[in-house]
Amino acid sequence: MSFPLKEQALQVIYDLYDREARRFPVACRQECSTCCTHNVLATTLEVAHTFEEFTEDRLQELATPVPPNSWEGGLRPQLTVNHLAGYCLLKKEPPAESLTRSAAPCPFRNAHGCGIYETRPFACRSMWSRRVCPPDGKAEMPALLVTLNGAIFQILEHLDAKGLYGNLLDLFELFDDSDVRAAYEAGEELEATASLLKTQPNPGFIVPPEHRQDIARVIGTLWSCDVGGLSFREALSQLRPGH
Ligand code: SF4
């Protein structure tokens, strides 16, 4: 699948998710930035899509400089979502990840809101709470939405075959190099780095029995969407033969 078709598939996912998420009660307001920290995770496809939409100068302008040492305690995952799902399906214990992290503000947050709102990654779109979060508290998300978010993260990672997964800021730094971006958009496989992991195929969805019917309906709708004249499912199956 070419890069423009992957972008099209990405937009199909975002649109479907927005329609589905609207069914859940939400207390979030655009002016709230409690969850806008430097701990956002994303795929290369999502960040490449942002670079396509914004010029590099505009991106530099939008992002406030990352404060020195802001990475201390920040989130850099050891496993991708699909890798973790593989452990769950095999009923194996995944390697422990540190759960304590700092929460410096996301550099894309500015006085007017999110500077890359139109192309913000799924991790930002899926931040959702049915009650206003206390400043130091957690979002309160319906269990079905948590399951749906997990399934969408798995599909996004599968879609980004040959790409990388990790912290949004590491991905922006990687794509600051226009040669790397050009190679990625031409379909070349990216090498994992010290902080970015190779994306993995979807080993199977992690869905509890009580959510199977709802998730099957959403995934069924997604599979039948059109991507460049193919169904979403057909387009996806071409990306990773054998999966
Ligand atoms: S990219 Fe935008 S929505 Fe996401 S955390 Fe940063 S400011 Fe918030």
Q: Is the dihedral of CA 207, 219, 214, 126 positive or negative?
A: positive
Query: Rounded to the nearest whole angstrom, what is the distance from the C-alpha of residue 31 to the centroid of ligand 1?
Result: 12
* Other Cβ atoms within 10 Å of 45 Cβ, number: 26
User: Does the pLDDT of residue 66 top 70, yes or no?
Assistant: no
Query: Rounded to the nearest whole angstrom, what is the distance from the C-alpha of residue 210 to the centroid of ligand 1?
Result: 32
* Other Cβ atoms within 10 Å of 3 Cβ, number: 15
Q: Which domain holds residue 155?
A: 3-237
Ligand 1 test: best mutation among 64, 75, 106, 117, most atoms within 8 Å of CB?
106
Query: Out of 6-20, 28-42, 143-157, which region has the weakest mean confidence (pLDDT)?
Result: 28-42
Cα(237)–Cα(243) distance, integer angstroms: 7
Structure tokens at 24: 């859940």
Query: Rounded to the nearest whole angstrom, what is the distance from the C-alpha of residue 72 to the centroid of ligand 1?
Result: 19
User: Does the pLDDT of residue 217 top 80, yes or no?
Assistant: yes
Please check whether residue 154 lies inside any domain of the structure: yes
Residue whose CA lies nearest to ligand 1 atom number 5: 36
Contact 79, 93 (CB under 8 A): no
Please check whether residue 190 lies inside any domain of the structure: yes
Query: Rounded to the nearest whole angstrom, what is the distance from the C-alpha of residue 205 to the centroid of ligand 1?
Result: 27
* Nearest atom in ligand 1 to 113's CA: 7
Of 82, 51, 77, which is closest to residue 166 (Cα–Cα)?
A: 77
Question: Count of alpha carbons within 13 Å of 24, Cβ hemisphere only?
Answer: 22
Backbone torsion region of residue 40, taken as left when φ is above 0, otherwise alpha when ψ lies between -120 and 50, otherwise beta:
beta
pTM above threshold 0.85: yes
Cα(101)–Cα(99) distance, integer angstroms: 6
Q: What pLDDT score was predicted for residue 238?
A: 85
Query: Rounded to the nearest whole angstrom, what is the distance from the C-alpha of residue 35 to the centroid of ligand 1?
Result: 8
* Nearest atom in ligand 1 to 117's CA: 2
Please check whether residue 127 lies inside any domain of the structure: yes
Please check whether residue 51 lies inside any domain of the structure: yes
pLDDT tens readout for residues 86-119: 999 999 988 887 666 677 888 888 888 888 999 9
- Name residue 23's amino acid: R
Residue whose CA lies nearest to ligand 1 atom number 4: 124
Ligand 1 test: best mutation among 37, 116, 119, 171, most atoms within 8 Å of CB?
116
Query: Out of 62-71, 131-140, 202-211, which region has the weakest mean confidence (pLDDT)?
Result: 62-71
Q: What pLDDT score was predicted for residue 25?
A: 85
Query: Rounded to the nearest whole angstrom, what is the distance from the C-alpha of residue 114 to the centroid of ligand 1?
Result: 5
Ligand 1: lining residues by beta carbon, under 6 Å: 36, 40, 106, 108-109, 114, 116, 120, 124
**How many structural domains compose the chain?**
1
Contact 12, 49 (CB under 8 A): no
Band (pLDDT 50/70/90 cuts) for residue 74 is confident
Band (pLDDT 50/70/90 cuts) for residue 1 is confident
CA 139 vs. chain centroid, Å, equals: 18
Of 242, 241, 243, which is closest to residue 1 (Cα–Cα)?
A: 241
Please check whether residue 138 lies inside any domain of the structure: yes
Please check whether residue 90 lies inside any domain of the structure: yes
Contact 99, 110 (CB under 8 A): no
Average pLDDT of the chain, as a whole number: 89
SS3 167: strand
Please check whether residue 9 lies inside any domain of the structure: yes
Please check whether residue 243 lies inside any domain of the structure: no
